[in-house]
Amino acid sequence: MNLTRRSVALTGVAAAGLLLTGCGSSRGIHPGNAVVVGSDTVSMSKIDTTSTLFCKVYVAQQQLQSASQQSGPLPLGSFRSYAASSLAKRALGQQLADQYAVEPASGYQTQISQYQQALASSPADERDAAIAVAGADAYLQNVEVSVGQKITGSTGQTDADLKADLERGQVAAQDWLNDHDAFVDPVFGLAVDGGTFTAQKDQTSYPLSTLASQGAAPQPASTYTAALPAAQVCG
């Protein structure tokens, strides 16, 4: 992920939740929890707080850009889904790190340092929320690299070595998830089956109006965002 002052808050929001590595079969009831991955849980209030802070970072980043470069307002629901998928990835990474007694590979800290530089002027709570969300892919992948190295005894640092370590770590993650519970509240439109967490429409309801159909699309149209109440819009 390229990290610049202009792009750091934008990455992944429009396609929130489309690429969450992992697997699981639980669709059980988990009162108050937005995410459950093994013994780790993320509350709905944590998702709300994180997505609100991340939204503030997005708005600040938009203000740094010229009018021609600004992406404009986005539905706050996109931020909530992105936060849910990202914190689920972090929960998975933490479970793997604990099981194999590893820390993320060095690539993670390198990327986090870039985030910290890009967001140096942001309030600490907003910066931490942005890093927690936007840095989740790097966290999980670098934990998987470390797991792969632990299993194989690899110490190589070439791109080919790291790719092989990552692939071995991903197999370990899949094995772990086959034996543990993984759940994301259906409100976020994420399926937790078939080897990945992917965007999926709620099976219990469907949009009736044109506006509702726009909101159900992977990237809602600007007309949908414009029609939302101010409290449901970021930007």
> Residue 22: helix, strand or coil by DSSP?
coil
Question: Is residue 195 over pLDDT 80?
Answer: no
- DSSP H or E stretch at residue 51: helix 44-63
pLDDT at 167: 93
37 bridge partner residues:
40, 182
Using one digit for the tens of pLDDT, what is the confidence trace for 35-56?
998 899 999 999 999 999 999 9
Using one digit for the tens of pLDDT, what is the confidence trace for 150-185?
999 998 889 999 999 999 999 999 899 888 888 888
CA distance 73 to 57: 13
Contact 88, 22 (CB under 8 A): yes
Using one digit for the tens of pLDDT, what is the confidence trace for 58-95?
888 888 876 666 677 888 888 898 899 899 989 999 99
144: left (phi over 0), alpha (psi -120 to 50) or beta: alpha
pLDDT at 186: 83
Torsion of Cα atoms, 24 then 29 then 35 then 38, to 10°: -50
Strands (E), the chain: 20-21, 33-37, 40-43, 74-75, 182-184, 190-193, 196-199, 233-234
Location of structure tokens 């409100």:
187
> Residue 65: helix, strand or coil by DSSP?
coil
Check the CA dihedral 102-108-109-110 and report its sign.
positive
Q: Sorting pLDDT into bands at 50, 70 and 90, what band is 201?
A: low
> Of 97, 110, 90, nearest to 146 (Cα)?
97
Token pair, residue 55, equals: 């939204």
Phi and psi (nearest 5°) for 13?
A: -65, -45
Question: Is residue 223 over pLDDT 80?
Answer: no
Token pair, residue 53, equals: 């802070």
CB crowding 156-189: b at 16 or more within 10 Å, else e: eeeeebbebbbebbbebbeebbeebebbbbbebb
Cα Rg of the chain, angstroms: 18
